[in-house]
A = this chain, B = another copy of it.
Amino acid sequence: MTSHVMPTAERKVRVDLAERSYDILIGPGLIAAAGKEIASRLKGRKMAVITDENVAPRYLEPLMASLGESGIEAVSLILPAGEKTKSFEHLIPVCEAILGARIERNDAVIALGGGVIGDLTGFAAGIVRRGSRFIQIPTSLLAQVDSSVGGKTGINSAHGKNLIGVFHQPDLVLADTAALDTLSPREFRAGYAEVAKYGLIDKPEFFEWLEKNWQAVFAGGPARIEAIAVSCQAKADVVAADERENGRRALLNLGHTFGHALEAATDYDSKRLVHGEGVAIGMVLAHEFSARMNLASPDDARRVEAHLKTVGLPTRLADIPGALPPADRLMEAIAQDKKVKGGKLTFILTRGIGQSFVADDVPSSEVLSFLTEKHPR
């Protein structure tokens, strides 16, 4: 897999969706170059930038300066940081701010931040005037390799995560890899869980490459850019094949059904669990459950757990600080998740490393007894 490491710092991935196709640019310094990149692609010269109080102090001013230099007039709105911002409470002022800025058809809304800002802002852009142009400037690893690509937007409901939203593709994604240097180690690791996921879905050689090169990916430089580009390309391929998740796109939910239930069980409290950590535990559970169903070897589950543990991610329910609700309550959260058809459970299971598949008839009794074993009262 040395061919994965390219000498150039900047990469481009195209998401191929006919008239909704767009580019993902990956490399250091893209926030400072945003004005130029946007002005060369979009006709509009009015933008509304939505960001949060963690990201704003570092990146809002350079972004606004770059837009200004390219003749783009922009307003900005700074929201509180954290998962609880993905709510109607914050969606409403974002929509009103976009309308107040008189963003017209060729103008755009810009999300500057992590997954929360991207999902919320994308949703607002998707519903203002029944769809406005939208640019993602993801500043977390998770957002760069996952949430900023593919057009899934939304907010959380009292009934679960991401249950309210729309499909709304961005017009451009600018992944400034230099922004990742300021992430906390915990946040970087959480994003890394999604990077590893692409290997586990259908790229066993990428997973093997990560096992050998993860330290270089964490350190920054070409290996990090490479890992992000491979991840974006993997996601772009799946999205191009199945934009609306009628089939193959569901593979991207590997680890997410368990993960979402754990996030709900911890009240989306990021002190206890962030999304990528839930996915890490969820991927180990998915491999263990697949082994229990005699679909995969238990060795594969052990290998997945070993790698995620090595990079510092939680891998077991017991790694989550504080008490979890009992197994039957976790099961309820799973049943309310959106991968449900006519009462049957849809799960992403696996036949081994890089051999995941969509199983849409998993008996809930099996899942419950598995969870009860993993998490006895």
Contact = CB atoms under 8 A, between A and B. Distances in A.
Interface stretch (A122-130, A133-141, A195-203, A207-215): A122-130
A363 to B, nearest CB: 17
A282 to B, nearest CB: 20
A96 interface: yes
Interface of A: 88, 91-92, 95-96, 99-100, 102, 104-106, 123, 126-131, 152, 154, 157-160, 163-167, 336, 338, 340-343
A157 B342 contact: no
Copy total for this chain: 2
10 contacts: A96-B157, A99-B159, A104-B340, A104-B341, A104-B343, A105-B342, A127-B164, A129-B164, A130-B167, A166-B166
B338 A166 contact: no
B166 A130 contact: yes
A58 B157 CA distance: 32
Contacts of A157: 95-96, 99
B130 A154 contact: yes
Nearest to A157: B99
Contact of A158 (B96, B130, B158): B96
Contacts of A166: 126-127, 130-131, 166
A209 to B, nearest CB: 33
A204 B129 CA distance: 32
A340 to B, nearest CB: 6
Q: Which of A130, A336, A341 neighbours the largest number of chain B CB atoms within 10 Å of its CB?
A: A130
Contacts of A131: 166-167
Nearest to A167: B130
Contact of A130 (B129, B165, B343): B165
Nearest to A95: B164
Nearest to A155: B127
A126 B164 CA distance: 9
The 4 closest A-B pairs by CB, nearest first: A99-B159, A88-B92, A129-B338, A130-B165
Contacts of A92: 88
Nearest to A338: B129
Contact of A163 (B126, B129, B154): B129
Contact of A102 (B91, B123, B165, B336): B336
